[in-house]
Chain A
Amino acid sequence: MSTPGKKSTILVVDDEIQIRRLLRISLEAAGFAVREADTGQTGLAEIATHPPDAIILDLGLPDMSGVEFVRRLREWSRLPILVVTVRAAENDKVEALDAGADDYVTKPFGASEVTARLRAILRRIQTDDRPALTKFGDIEVDLAARLVRRAGIEVKLTGKEYGLLRLLVAHRGKVITHRQILRELWGPKAEANSHYLRVHMTHLRQKLEADPHRPRHFRTEAGIGYRLIED
């Protein structure tokens, strides 16, 4: 949630004026302040002079690739970035996410989807002092005590399962790529063994989801990674 009284400022970097206009309408309606930039260069200059709270970046900019934008920004700023892509560009998405973008939405997108994503990435920044206790659905994760409970009953997790859960909780509401998880849990050389991850995720779902076949919380992002949905 944005802090009452002070609106979060969002910089929209997109060369399409109609998209900028539409985003401005829906974001302002959702309580954000909006600034616009139509090229990567002006976007970067704008961020350097007047840092916004978050950036919405179109990956198909005319003057530089979105991935390059993310890399250059990440050299000096940790500002949250939400990238906007078209379908069938999974590689770009993964690259941008691995380069440091925080989340993505796919065109065509709904306004509610964008605001929800924005809120998720803003919240992560604002609540750096994460509470040790996280709840979603009937699941309770106590990071301090390394305890997981479902409907009040403790669930036994293996080390990797717990590690995976901890990562997802840390990035809750936000996508996390396969590569990021594999690096985090198995080290940089494990990227080839991605089936480990699939197996552990299956187990995690079986232990924590009401219907593991139609998971509610542990969502798969096709070809990209996973996302923990809290509600």
Chain B
Amino acid sequence: MSNVRPDPDALLASLKHEEARARRGRLKVFLGMCPGVGKTYAMLRAAQQERVAGVDIAVGVVETHGRAETEAILAGLAVVPRRSVEYRGTNLTEMDLEALLARQPRIVLVDELAHTNAPGSRHAKRWQDVLELLEAGSEVFTTLNIQHVESRADAVRQITGAPVHETVPDSLLDLADEMELLDLTSEALLERLREGKVYLGERAAAAQAGFFQDSHLNALRELALRYTAERVERQLRTMRAGSAKQTVWRSGERLIVAVGPSPFSTQLVRWTRRMAAALGAPWLAVYVEGSATLNPEAQRLLDKNLALARELGAEVVLTHDEDAAAALVRVALQRNATQIVVGKPRSRRWLDILRGGTLVDRLVRLGGNIDIYVVPAESGPRHRQWLDYDAPWHSGPQEYGWVAGVIAAVTLGGFLLPQNYYLAVGLVYLLAVIALSLRVGRGPVLMSGVVSALTWNYLFIPPRYTFQINKVEDATLFGTYFIVALIAGQLTARIRAQARHERLREERATALFQLTRALAEARTLDDAVFAALRQTDELFGAKTTLLLADESGQEVYPHFAGSQAVEDKERAVAVWAFQNRRPAGRFTDTLPSSTGYYVPLVREEHAVGVLGLTLAEEGTLTLAQRDLLDSFARQLALIVERDHLRAAGEREKLLAESEKLHRTLLDSVSHELRTPLAVITAAAENLAVAEAPLRASLVEEVRTAARRLNRLVGNLLDQTRLESGALKPKIDWCDARDIVNAALDGVRDALAGHPLEVIMSDELPPVRVDFALTEQALANLLLNATLHTPADTAVFLTAGIERGGKRVYFTVADRGPGFPVAMKERLFKKFERGDAARAGGLGLGLSIVRGFVTAQGGEIMVGENPGGGAVFTLYLPHTPPGAVPSE
């Protein structure tokens, strides 16, 4: 196979990458293996070089840590003063993002990319500030240690044993246009440390004992080198993908990582990210929601894991299934994933045996040719999975009351039976447990199983009133009872949970279906938006706001359909979400103190608006709700985009039409103008030398050409007047005979070869029309009649008042070829010319006639002349004149 064409998807992705980069400012990262390698120094030195070249540079934030040589090289650079933030009594200073955005320097220096901002700042993390600076078009120089790279955080922790709290997502680093690795051998670094060039005084000693151990440093150095090497390789691949020199590109690789509410999942996610980056493949993080509900702590952990995945560039997919393995394989098949990454189970659980093996076993069995990666968990506190789920005893006391009541009733009933009927009592107990499991939660069912078993044993199984069982038969019965009660209870509870999920899913599907239907039914964008927002209000029990982008796509304006006005402060959050195409506000890392949650409506590469959701004070958004809201936002974006496209399409069509018109106009005008001009020029030249007898005919030629020119200009002017709307008919009383005569005078020369018959009543009263417009309309019709009929054929002109006296009519009829039916439709359009147009012309005549007639509230009809030819009839409104006072 010698397929040398670049994969279109890859090419498109690389193009989009280029495009996005062109808008964004450049990002240059100075990467080091640990503090003290000279990142800040290197950054400042680079900045000084730029400064010498005359580039506008601003220092957003630079930490000198009291290092003398760093302080020295900072001299001469413009420092934007830091913003001070009061937090719990201490004064913290942070980079002043607002001031930097307002100042818009060419290059901003931002030290320590991984820094966490003081609470109350716009963003939780400094890298988010940097992202915004980049989006605003500034170039950013920044420093970073390898330990703070999200995908390497685990590795660093394993090396140093110290947890990493501040991390920068790899997706941000992927944006970097340039990455400079500051490499230093561990010996040299330790030397620097001893010389006090890294930390001063006591801190230096502490650091050397902890972080700065020789072995650590070597491992970190390797990590940093490898990270940079991988990056270079990736860049190479991007170039290769774009340049059609494809030999090793494995297209179509796609990874799936299973994510759960476990701290171990973060490692899995990072591992997958590294793998995906190395393969250059897209990846998905999948959470399989089972029947049990997560407790808030686990929910938080899950949210965090999924957010991490999102941040690292994964697409997050939620799915529902009792069987995680089946769900993963299903998603993998649907999305054409080639590899599934799961954590290595620590031990087999007894339930696995019932299910037919561990998750991994089952994945391998179901997965077919999908590669399964099993990543071992590192040692750490054992995570007890069952703790993640809502504790069984969370059910209300009422349910336990039910359990107690039912068991008490069965027990009482049991006493009414003879002693040796204890087996029957046991069956009734079992029935009661199963019946209860249909009504109450897991906990109460579990309790009913245990309590009923014990009660049965104590009160009924001989010997009575002891927990002792003598017969093997009874013991077997008791054991079986216990297990059956437990399993039955669990199974029923699960069925109920499944039903609940089914219901939720159905609700979600219904909501989406209703939304799509409402959107499809809406005739205008406003209708659609209104329907969508009302549904959002209802579904989320929230107030919604919607801001839509204007035509230019630069500004957003609130849409009236929102159920809540947009305050200035909230609007700023919405604008941020819009500009950065990422959710902002409450429940996010960006401006989390705002009251609303803002989701951008994103289509392709640009945002078309922002959907805002303001929940009640204590309200939260579950994962499923966020998912649903995302779907809503996507639908809305689609509808807005569709509207934009339609509008753009209409504009384009109009433009194309007017362009076509222009071309036609230019072509025919230039032809129509040049012909008579050529005649005049030639005739004038000949006149100078011509003999007397020739002169008269030459003069006549000039006259004819001039008349033709005059008519052409007149038509163009008339058409312009009609189109500009400047035409205001001057309706006054006119003598129809006068109008006819004036029209005939205008075209007398053209009419020369055609016998003319005028049929008008002598008693025609004055008519109220615009004299000039009507005359011109008639003249154009007469001229057409002469142009489009053979010489010597008759032309008829009639005028009169219609029976009923409401309309006055003028008809011009000829004996020409008439019109083909198909022609009639186009007849009155601009620049339409008769097929057999003899004398050229612009094709404006009839268009003007119709314009002049409709301007006066009349209409024009075209028909067949009985006996051959065409008939044009003008109808104009008529009111009989008042009586003329007698004298």
Contacts and interface: CB of A to CB of B under 8 A. Distances in A.
Contacts of A178: 732
B496 interface: no
Interface stretch (B402-410, B524-532, B879-887): B879-887
B884 A90 contact: no
Nearest to A110: B703
A50 interface: no
Interface stretch (B165-173, B533-541, B551-559, B735-743): B735-743
B775 interface: yes
Nearest to B739: A222
Nearest to A87: B714
Given A195-B766, A201-B735, A223-B772, 10 more contacts: A88-B717, A88-B718, A194-B732, A198-B733, A198-B734, A199-B766, A199-B881, A199-B884, A213-B760, A222-B772
A223 B771 contact: yes
Contacts of B882: 193, 195
Contacts of A158: 887
A219 to B, nearest CB: 9
A136 interface: no
Nearest to A214: B741
B5 interface: no
Of the listed residues B735, B741, B768, B887, the one surrounded by the most CB atoms of chain A closer than 10 A to its CB is B735
A220 B733 contact: no
Given A160-B887, A198-B766, A213 B710 contact: no
A220 B887 contact: no
Interface string B211-242: 00000000000000000000000000000000
Contact of B706 (A88, A108, A193, A222): A108
Interface string A77-101: 0000000000110110000000000
Nearest to A202: B735
Contacts of B732: 178, 194, 223
Interface string B427-445: 0000000000000000000
A111 to B, nearest CB: 12
B730 interface: yes
A134 to B, nearest CB: 23
Nearest to A90: B772
A108 B705 CA distance: 13
A214 B766 CA distance: 16
Nearest to B720: A88
B771 A222 contact: yes
Contacts of B766: 195, 198-199, 202
Interface in B855-878: none
Contacts of A131: none
22 contacts: A90-B730, A108-B706, A108-B710, A158-B887, A159-B887, A194-B733, A195-B733, A195-B765, A195-B766, A196-B885, A201-B735, A202-B735, A202-B737, A202-B766, A213-B737, A214-B741, A220-B738, A220-B741, A220-B742, A222-B742, A222-B771, A222-B775
Interface in B698-732: 706, 710, 714, 717-718, 721, 730, 732
Contacts of B733: 194-195, 197-198
The 4 closest A-B pairs by CB, nearest first: A195-B733, A198-B766, A220-B738, A195-B881
Nearest to B721: A88
B78 interface: no
Interface residues of B, number: 30
Interface string A45-83: 000000000000000000000000000000000000000
Nearest to A213: B737
B180 to A, nearest CB: 69
A92 to B, nearest CB: 12
B758 interface: yes
A220 B735 contact: yes
Nearest to A198: B766
A213 B761 CA distance: 10
Q: What interface size band does chain A fall in?
A: 20 to 34
Interface in A180-231: 193-202, 213-215, 220, 222-223
Nearest to A197: B733
Contacts of B885: 196
A90 B771 CA distance: 10
A213 B762 CA distance: 8
A106 to B, nearest CB: 10
B713 to A, nearest CB: 9
Contacts of A223: 730, 732, 770-772
A110 B739 CA distance: 23
Interface in B755-778: 758, 760, 765-766, 768, 770-772, 775
B570 to A, nearest CB: 57
Nearest to A94: B730
B380 to A, nearest CB: 92
Contacts of A90: 730, 772
A5 B714 CA distance: 42
B727 to A, nearest CB: 10
Q: Which of B730, B766, B775 has the most CB of A within 10 A?
A: B766
B706 A195 contact: no
Given A201-B735, A213-B737, A213-B758, A196 B775 contact: no
Contacts of A160: 887
B739 to A, nearest CB: 8
B878 to A, nearest CB: 12
Contacts of A199: 765-766, 881, 884
Contacts of A194: 732-733
Contacts of A198: 733-735, 766
A213 B771 CA distance: 17
Contacts of A91: 730
A158 to B, nearest CB: 5
Contacts of A214: 741
Contacts of B770: 223
Contacts of B760: 213
A169 B714 CA distance: 33
Interface in B270-286: none
A180 to B, nearest CB: 15
Contacts of A220: 735, 738, 741-742
A87 B721 CA distance: 13
B716 to A, nearest CB: 11
Nearest to A201: B735
Interface string A136-168: 000000000000000000000011100000000
B247 to A, nearest CB: 74
B728 to A, nearest CB: 9
Contacts of B771: 222-223
A42 to B, nearest CB: 29
Contacts of A200: 884
Counting chain B CB atoms within 10 Å of each CB, the highest count among A108, A159, A220 belongs to: A220
B748 to A, nearest CB: 11
B742 A195 contact: no
B294 to A, nearest CB: 81
Contacts of B887: 158-160
Contacts of A196: 884-885
A200 B733 CA distance: 12
A2 to B, nearest CB: 27
B819 to A, nearest CB: 29
B884 A195 contact: yes
Contact of A88 (B714, B735, B739): B714
Contacts of A202: 735, 737, 766
Contacts of B739: 222
B824 to A, nearest CB: 29
Contacts of B718: 88
Which of A91, A108, A223 is most buried by chain B, counting CB atoms within 10 A of its CB? A223
A194 to B, nearest CB: 5
A108 to B, nearest CB: 6
A123 B770 CA distance: 33
- Counting chain B CB atoms within 10 Å of each CB, the highest count among A178, A197, A199, A201 belongs to A199
A98 to B, nearest CB: 14
Nearest to B743: A222
A196 B885 CA distance: 8
